[in-house]
Amino acid sequence: MTDISARLSGPVRVVGAGLLGASVGLGLRARGVDVLLADASPAHLRLAADYGAGRLDDGGAEPSLIVVAVPPDLTGTVVADELAAHPDAVVTDVASVKVAPLSELQAAGVDLARYVGGHPLAGRERGGPSSARADLFIGRPWVVAARPENPRAAVSLVEALILDLGATPVEMDAAEHDAAVALVSHAPQLVSSLMAKRLADSPDAALALAGQGVRDVTRIAASEPELWVQILGANAPAIVEILRAYRDDLDRVLVALGDVDAAGARRTIAEEIAGGNIGVSRLPGKHGQDRKYSRFVVMVEDRPGELARLLHELGDLGVNMEDLRLEHSPGAAFGLADIAVLPEVLHRTVEDLTERGWRITG
């Protein structure tokens, strides 16, 4: 791991002490970096300082690096202000869209040599400083939207920050980034929300039949509307491009389902589902491989320690579990553990577990 301290002549200033900003502060403090905090809300600011994310910026020290962690629609303005106020600092941000703030800055005629946009793909996008974690970014990709006008030293300072926080820098320009997150985050969010909305006024009896499939499809539909309106609004053109193509496919399916016995109708449906097969198979798996695993389902009594016992026995059997999903049967006194292993050990694992008294249900 790199050590950002060696590259810094002054402190790191974090503007915006929400989940992301406070987590950056905590992560840097854990590595001994001096962190100055700023936030428009004095309450947020003091809370983040209380949690150890840094100290209040009294203006006594000139920062070397500034991390702007404010909502996407404020990012452009705040970046411009920070560049002007700290003429020697490198400025980065963590906004989940990159084109809109950049265009705003370019339109305002700001010199952007010292601005290197960034976006950590960290799980949660909500919560205040009290949800912050020093380890929030560990193992996550963190996009660095470097531009030709950025001096290499500015880019590598931002990359050192990212590496220090345990994340993986991924270089990508602003337009590529926005198209990518539209595809892997924003469009799936809308697709999930719109499907979940169909459940809103459905009969309880129908919902009682819900299995893991609809639960997975709609899980992210629990996201906060206010935040997502901002994210989606800031990346609208890229999202519209994907959703228009999606709607064209949906229309084809609707026509086919409207008359399933028409020539070509079943083929259309099969092609759409086969297209989905190809798409989902392209998502990188564990360790970035595309390796396919075999799955089986074990019944686990719903009492503390049972799942741990199952996993211990898998360990005893020398089986490395590649993935685990827990399903609950509403009303039942047990859960179902859906476990993925390498195909070559599936048969033996299922036999050994059965011998040890576990019930394999799928």
| C-beta of 47 vs 190, nearer to a copy of itself | 190
Inter-CA distances, 56 with 22, 60, 90, Å: 12, 10, 20
Distance of alpha carbon 178 from alpha carbon 96, whole angstroms: 8
113 touching a copy of itself, by CB under 8 A: no
| C-beta of 31 vs 266, nearer to a copy of itself | 266
Least CB distance to a copy of itself at residue 192 (A): 5
x/- map, 166-185, a copy of itself, by CB under 8 A: --x-x-x---x--xxx-xxx
Among 50, 111, 135, 301, binds a copy of itself (CB under 8 A): 135
Among 43, 207, 291, 351, binds a copy of itself (CB under 8 A): 207
Using CB under 8 A as the binding rule, the residues of this chain from 18 to 57 that contact a copy of itself are none
273 touching a copy of itself, by CB under 8 A: yes
**DSSP three-state, residue 84:** helix
Exposed, middle or buried, 304 (CB in 10 Å: 0-12/13-18/19+)? Answer: exposed
Start-end of H helices in the chain: 19-30, 42-50, 72-85, 99-107, 152-164, 174-181, 187-198, 204-207, 212-218, 225-234, 236-258, 265-281, 306-316, 343-355
Least CB distance to a copy of itself at residue 86 (A): 30
Q: Which two tokens stand for residue 117?
A: 């946009």
Contact between 115 and 105 under an 8 Å Cβ cutoff? The reply is yes
| C-beta of 113 vs 229, nearer to a copy of itself | 229
| C-beta of 66 vs 300, nearer to a copy of itself | 300
DSSP H or E run through 324? strand 323-328
236 touching a copy of itself, by CB under 8 A: yes
Using CB under 8 A as the binding rule, the residues of this chain from 295 to 354 that contact a copy of itself are 297, 299, 304-305, 307-308, 311-312, 314-315, 318-321, 323-332, 334-336, 338
